[in-house]
Amino acid sequence: MMTDEPIRILAPRQAIPTIKRELSRRNFLAFSAAAASVATLAACTPGGGAQPGAGLVASGGPLEANLNIYSWGDYDDPGVVESFTDTLGPKVTFGSYGSNEEMISKLIAAKGTSGYDIVVPTGVFVPQLAKNGLVVELNHDLLPNLKYMDPAFLKQEWDPENKYSVCKAWGTTGFVYDKNIITRDLTTWNDFLDAAQNEASGKTSVLDDPAELTGMYFWANGIDWNTTKKEDLDAAEDYLVNTLSPHIAAFDSYPGGTAIPEGTQVLMQVWNGDARLGIMNGGEPDRWAWRLGAPATELWMDNWSIAMGAKNPEAAHAFINYTMVPETQLVQLDYIGYHTGAAGIEKAAEAEGLEMLDMVFFTPDQLATMKNGELNENQDRVVEIWNKMKAAAGA
């Protein structure tokens, strides 16, 4: 996520098996506990709160035999991971989460003993993670491939020297709809909300993410989605819980894995890369229309960071460095469907003939409609609205 901020590439995935994105599995108590951890994290001062355990320091020594990564579901091309192991040796194991809150909750509880080496936080969470000792400083001497990154995606406001993070991927939020069922042209969040209550009633899914749900209401109504005003939050709750929820069939963070390919929903709020994945894998590209959320939507950036207590810091740096090789960046982009922040990646993707690049790269006018989220005092209220919305929808 670039400053206020428009923000969230190696050969095509030939001969690489398609893996459906792992669904976000969260329940009320687990998420509420995680959100409470985030609220605690935001309130902590440097050196407090988590009281992390000591970790090893990377100095350019021999790579360890293993590497443990805690990331979003199915967020790296399996071929890239296999190639890293074949080339450099460390065996990579993944754990996955469905929200920053879930990841942070685990790191806080573990106090430096989570067992993970690399984590992938969204940008707005990096300052609090760093201040509370949950991630450690990167050794830039071990990341020479930073030279391949576009400067526009480095030195973000929340980590101006890239001490703790390096861009992994960035993207945005919009929606997909079945043109066989919804025959009018939908272009805005207001259109989405109207269709959800009409043609797509009972066949609409929304992201399983509190900020995205309230954001959808705020974007549609010209309200800053980071608002902390009580009247804005009250209005969002009333609409989402009492008006929209009865029409929602699913809270699904990854409809590209199943819902789009199998056509189980008619209208879906979705992240751009996941939408691309679903449309490409569904075999009926003409059936679906993708729309960037309008008149406003979010911009997010996910980042490579190294967790406090990492036992394999040399391997962690080596993996991050390996992913920044231009050829690897291109394969990653095609697999996950998100811009990776690499310099010249758009031209490389076009030259390679990758498909549906209008869902990966955005014009300056489109970028101007996107804004970063914030971690602020509305966090608890937003989660409360999410809980009530899911309860009202019977989820």
Q: Assess if residue 242 is contained within a domain.
A: yes
Give me the domain span that covers residue 164.
28-170+302-361
**How far is it, in rounded angstroms, from Cα 48 to Cα 108?**
11
**How far is it, in rounded angstroms, from Cα 50 to Cα 110?**
8
Note whether 163 and 178 are same-domain residues: no
Q: Assess if residue 312 is contained within a domain.
A: yes
Q: What is the pLDDT of residues 157-209, one digit of tens each?
A: 899 999 999 999 999 999 999 999 999 999 999 999 999 999 999 999 999 98
Q: Assess if residue 320 is contained within a domain.
A: yes
Note whether 316 and 290 are same-domain residues: no
Note whether 124 and 161 are same-domain residues: yes
Q: Assess if residue 2 is contained within a domain.
A: no
Q: What is the pLDDT of residues 167-178, one digit of tens each?
A: 999 999 999 999
The secondary structure of residue 241, as a DSSP letter, is I
Identify the helix (H) or strand (E) that includes residue 348: helix 345-352
**How far is it, in rounded angstroms, from Cα 126 to Cα 395?**
31
Note whether 236 and 343 are same-domain residues: no
Note whether 119 and 69 are same-domain residues: yes
Q: What is the pLDDT of residues 269-283, one digit of tens each?
A: 999 999 999 999 988
Note whether 165 and 217 are same-domain residues: no
Note whether 61 and 114 are same-domain residues: yes
Q: Assess if residue 60 is contained within a domain.
A: yes
3-state secondary structure (DSSP) of residue 144 = helix
Per-residue model confidence (pLDDT) at position 394: 79
Note whether 327 and 209 are same-domain residues: no
Classify strands 297-307 and 166-178 as parallel, antiparallel or unpaired: antiparallel
- The CATH number for 229's domain is 3.40.190.10
Q: Assess if residue 111 is contained within a domain.
A: yes
Return phi, psi of residue 309, to 5°.
90, 5
**How far is it, in rounded angstroms, from Cα 163 to Cα 136?**
8
CB 11 within 8 A of CB 328: no
- The model's confidence at residue 377, banded by pLDDT at 50, 70 and 90, is confident
Note whether 334 and 386 are same-domain residues: no
Core vs surface per residue 300-311: b (16+ CB within 10 A) or e: bbbbbbbbbbbb
Q: Assess if residue 136 is contained within a domain.
A: yes
Q: How many domains does the chain have?
A: 2
Note whether 70 and 166 are same-domain residues: yes
**How far is it, in rounded angstroms, from Cα 304 to Cα 168?**
6
Note whether 262 and 317 are same-domain residues: no
Note whether 123 and 202 are same-domain residues: no
pLDDT greater than 60 at residue 284: yes
What contacts 342, CB < 8 A, 6 or more positions away?
9, 148, 149, 150, 324, 326, 329, 330, 333, 348
**How far is it, in rounded angstroms, from Cα 48 to Cα 132?**
6
Per-residue model confidence (pLDDT) at position 54: 56
Q: Assess if residue 5 is contained within a domain.
A: no
